[in-house]
Chain A
Amino acid sequence: MSETVLELEKLTIALPPGADRANAVSDVDLVLRAGKVTCLIGESGSGKSLVARSILGLLPRPHVRVGSGRILFEGQDLAIAPQDKMRAIRGAKIGMIFQEPMTALNPLHTIGRQLDEVLRIHTQLGKAARRARVLELIDSVHLPEPGRIIRSFPHQLSGGQRQRAMIAMALLLSPRLLIADEPTTALDVTTQAQILYLIRELQREHGTSVLFITHDFGVVADIADEVAVLQRGTLVERGTAAAVLGAPGHPYTRALIAAVPKLVPPPARPANKQPFIVEARDVTKTYGARGLFGGDVTRALAGVTMELRRGETLGLVGESGSGKSTLARAITRLMPIDGGEILLGGADIAHFSRRRLRPVRKRVQMVFQDPYASLDPRQRIIDIIAEGPIIHGTPPAKAREEAQALLGLVGLDPSAAQRFPHEFSGGQRQRIGIARALALHPEVLVADDPVSALDVSVQAQVLALLADIKARLHLRMLFVTHDLRVALQVCDRIAVMKQGEVVEVAPTAEIFFSPQHAYTKALFAAVPGGTWQDRRAS
């Protein structure tokens, strides 16, 4: 057994009165050992991030505070340590990496200056020594051209590079403990795989203890030595990664693992020879570069061609910036395109006027990515769902009646009708979004990464709902996602997009067994928990 670095003893974090529960977490016992990665896994609202913050003394006091219990680090109790003592510990002895590196870095200072500042505050090193140390760290996180990187501002780096810079910053003072709060959630899968590898590598080199907060069991499988599962503030299971992943004891853990989309070959489906319903031909779209001075141009769509047949679900898979969401918005005509054609049932709707577009709108409906932003906060649920039919001429009373029936179809309680969006969870809101899209009886449903903002267990439910609705209503669906695993579950054919182009289209089984394009192969390799997934599948 290696040495204990930090120990949580019956840690309880109290929430302000009026919150949905009295304590964010209660009686959490956790031991972090040197040279080990401990993953704290839980769904949103489980209190996992507050545990991390409590260790650093960064709870949003006075509303949220440590109620009872101890946080033992090097013989002192951090729960009652004064702020000035915490300041000396933070950064120097406990490093931290955040989810969104862009907000954690100061946009006005260069990377080099921000790293240098850490050393200036915590050490007596001279200027040259500091610079040498900064360059050494930048190099150790495998950032290219350290000399250039330290002169760069955060916005000049990519998301993955910024996260590497954050890791360099966290490791500058060789902390004994590194706390990583969902450090890869905001990153693309291929970048995520690299960052996970990097954390593992550095942690082995330095013998650092790592507390890794995540919601993704795939990530756990890739990085964890030990796992602790948090369910609504209670630690329900704790053990080595092999034990928890291989033979989960608690029903909640089992449910969470079961909900992780499996990387399994889809059942073979008969080839679909039906005619096309939606076709995109050489669609181009460019952002930026308007006006006198031009500027940088982003080619979101560089001549994309794709077809959706009647009765099939086509997956559009790609990382951020691949143009997949832009294509979805182009097809629903929520965004004008620069060139090319979009055919709906053979007619080019790309250049329809608003008036001619109105009847077309009915035929193509969209489910949006963000369940929090896509519902009008000031409308009742029934009005949200009934709005489309009312716009298209259904008498309001009849539209509301149909909307009420749709609530049942998407698995919501009839009493939901009179409530407002903020009273619902993310998964429930997404169901409302689906009901709204279905209210118009569309021929084509475009789903723009509808489950990416949801917890895995909820994700599984929403996917099941979509599959059920698709089968019952014979919908054609364009399913946009960044998650290959989800696409494998849902889609008949998959189109892989990269930098505004479709690089590969094939039936799902074919793409799973023999991906042709190098990028598709890279996507498969980057799926978190790859080997674990293989074992699950067999």
Chain B
Amino acid sequence: MRAGFARFARNRMALFGAAVLLCLFLLVVLTPVIYPDDPFKLVGPALQPPGGRFLLGTDTLGRDVAAEIAYGARTSLIIGVGATLAAIVFGAVVGGMAGYYRGMTETVLMRITEFFQTIPAFIFALLIVAILSPSVSSEIIAIAAVSWPSIARLVRGEFVSLGGREFVQACAGLGASDARIIFNHMLPNCASSVIAVGSLLIGTAILLEAGLAFLGLGDPNVMSWGLIISAGRAVLRSAWWICTFPGIAILLTVLGINLIGDGLNEALNPRLRER
């Protein structure tokens, strides 16, 4: 995997993505220092254009757009990373069991996985949040619930191909338990592809979160990019900055994460390595 990261470092687009993400991370860490106030606090006159006292202007209620974006970044990252981790854990368990035990277990688990995949992701996420009532944790659950099938299918495929490899058989021949084979041998050997695919999932999760918040299904007490856009869309023609800046933030973040994901994929996926 070390060689993989060397290959990653040679990929300029991926490095650009990494730089964008690093900036975002710094912003999240420094937010309490730069904007100590609550982002919901009214700090000035409404609809101030950017460039004056407020770097990115104020919104319809007189809140600082820059502060809103900084706090929204935290929400996006928490939900993006949280939902992806949940999806990876659940997907790996389901896919791993299906790929390891095969037979009936596989048939049942993979049919369930496919059932989840046939439901349009965004509609399904909307439904779950609506049922669970909007909050950060229900958003994480909803996004994880629509993201895990791709991980499950990936891990199942890797496990099926690893299961036929001689080193796995050799381990079974030593008398190793299933848990030992799965955790010590099979999971580490498919970690690189899971990392590559998982990193792309974070971008998707952030987009889903923005979409949910835009439709008013985000946590009303937590600032998020989707919420800012939702609040500013009525005045889009007179106060363009309210929607534009969070939009750019979403664009850059998702682009950065996707570039990193592609870079990881190319660096760690042996099938793409030759390119």
Interface positions of A (Cβ within 8 A of B): 329, 332, 334, 357-359, 361-362, 365-366, 368-370, 373-379, 387-388, 391-392, 433, 436, 440
Return 13 A-B CB contacts under 8 Å, by A number: A334-B172, A334-B173, A359-B175, A361-B173, A361-B175, A366-B173, A369-B166, A375-B170, A376-B189, A378-B188, A391-B175, A391-B177, A436-B174
A440 touches B172 (CB 8 A): no
CB-nearest residue of chain A to B170: A374
- The CB with the most chain A CB atoms within 10 A, among B170, B180, B184, is that of B170
Partner of B171, one of A357, A362, A369, A387: A387
Distance between Cα atoms of A357 and B189 in the complex (Å): 26
Residues of B with Cβ closer than 8 Å to A?
165-167, 169-177, 180, 184-185, 188-189
Query: Are A357's CB and B167's CB within 8 A?
Result: no
CB neighbours (8 Å) of A369 from chain B are 166
| A374 with B166: CB separation less than 8 A | yes
Contact: A391 with B176, CB < 8 Å?
A: yes
CB contact between A388 and one of B174, B177, B184, B188 (< 8 Å): that residue? B174
Question: Given the complex of chains A and B, what is the CA–CA distance between A357 and B175 in angstroms?
Answer: 8
A/B pair count, beta carbons within 8 Å: 57
B170, chain A: closest CB distance, angstroms: 5
Closest B residue, CB atoms, query A446: B173
User: Which 4 pairs show the lowest CB-CB distances between chains A and B?
Assistant: A361-B175, A374-B166, A388-B174, A373-B166
A361 CA to B176 CA in the complex, in Å?
Answer: 9
* Among candidates A334, A358, A388, A392, residue contacting B169 with C-beta atoms closer than 8 Å: A334
A362-B165 contact given A378-B188, A436-B170, CB 8 Å threshold? no
CA–CA, A358 and B185, complex, Å: 18
- Which of A366, A377, A378, A392 lies at the interface centre, i.e. has the most chain B CB atoms within 10 A of its CB? A378
Partner of B175, one of A358, A370, A379: A358
Q: Is the CB of A376 within 8 A of B171?
A: yes
Q: How far is the CB of B58 from chain A (nearest CB, A)?
A: 54
6 A-B pairs besides A366-B173, A373-B166, A379-B185 with CB distance below 8 A are A329-B169, A361-B173, A369-B166, A374-B169, A376-B167, A388-B174
- Closest partner residue, chain A, to B1 (CB atom): A378
Residues of A within 8 A of B169 (CB): 329, 334, 368, 374
- How distant is B112 from chain A, measured CB to nearest CB, in Å? 21
Residues of chain B lying within 8 A (CB to CB) of residue A358: 175
CB <8 Å contact, B175 and A373: no
Residue of B nearest to A368 (CB): B166
**CB of B3, distance to nearest CB on chain A (Å):** 10
B189 with A387: CB separation less than 8 A: no
Nearest CB on B from A300, distance (A): 16
CB distance from B243 to the nearest CB of A (A): 47
The interface residues of chain B lying within 8 Å CB-to-CB of A332 are: 173
User: Which B residues are CB-close (under 8 A) to A388?
Assistant: 174-175
Q: Could you tell me the distance between the alpha carbons of A436 and B166 in the complex, rounded to whole angstroms? A: 13
Residues of A near B166 (CB, < 8 A) are 368-370, 373-374
By the criterion CB–CB under 8 Å, are A392 and B175 in contact? yes
Closest beta carbon of chain A to B1's beta carbon, Å: 8
- Bound together, the chains give a CA A329 to CA B170 distance in angstroms of 11
Please judge, given known A-B contacts A366-B170, A388-B175, A391-B175, whether A373 and B165 are in contact too, CB under 8 Å: yes
Bound: A59/B174 CA distance, A: 43
In the complex, A365→B189 CA distance in Å?
24
**Chain B residues, Cβ within 8 Å of A378:** 185, 188-189
Known: A391-B175, A391-B176. Contact between A377 and B189, CB under 8 A?
A: yes
In the bound complex, CA of A418 to CA of B180 (Å): 21
Measured CB to CB, the nearest residue on chain A to B162 is A376
What residues of chain A lie closer than 8 Å to B184, measured between beta carbons? 379
| Complex contacts, B165 vs chain A, CB 8 Å | 373
What is the CB-to-nearest-CB distance from B107 to chain A, in angstroms, rounded to a whole number? 11
A358 to B175, CA, bound (A): 5
Residues from chain B with Cβ under 8 Å of A334 in the complex: 169, 172-173
- Inter-chain contact A387/B176, CB cutoff 8 Å: yes
> Cα distance A379–B171 when bound, in Å?
12
**Minimum CB–CB distance for B193 against chain A, Å:** 13
Given known A373-B167, A374-B166, A376-B185, contact A391–B172 (CB-CB < 8 A): no
Closest Cβ neighbor of A367 among chain B residues? B170
Q: Within the assembled complex, what's the spacing in Å between the Cα atoms of A369 and B188?
A: 23
Are A374 and B174 in contact, with the CB atoms below 8 A? no
Most B CB atoms within 10 A — which of A373, A376, A433, A440? A376
Closest chain-B Cβ to A117's Cβ sits at a distance in Å of 27
User: Judging by beta carbons under 8 Å apart, are A361 and B189 in contact?
Assistant: no
Per the bound structure, the CA–CA distance linking A376 and B174 in Å amounts to 13
**Contact of A375 with B172 in the complex, beta carbons under 8 Å:** no
| Cβ–Cβ contact A440 & B174, under 8 A | yes
B182 → A minimal CB distance (Å): 13
Q: Return chain B residues, CB-CB under 8 Å to A365.
A: 173-174
Q: When chains A and B are docked, how far (Å) is the Cα of A332 from the Cα of B176?
A: 14
Taken together as a complex, chains A and B put the C-alpha atoms of A433 and B167 apart, in Å, by: 10
Docked complex Cα distance between A358 and B174 (Å): 8
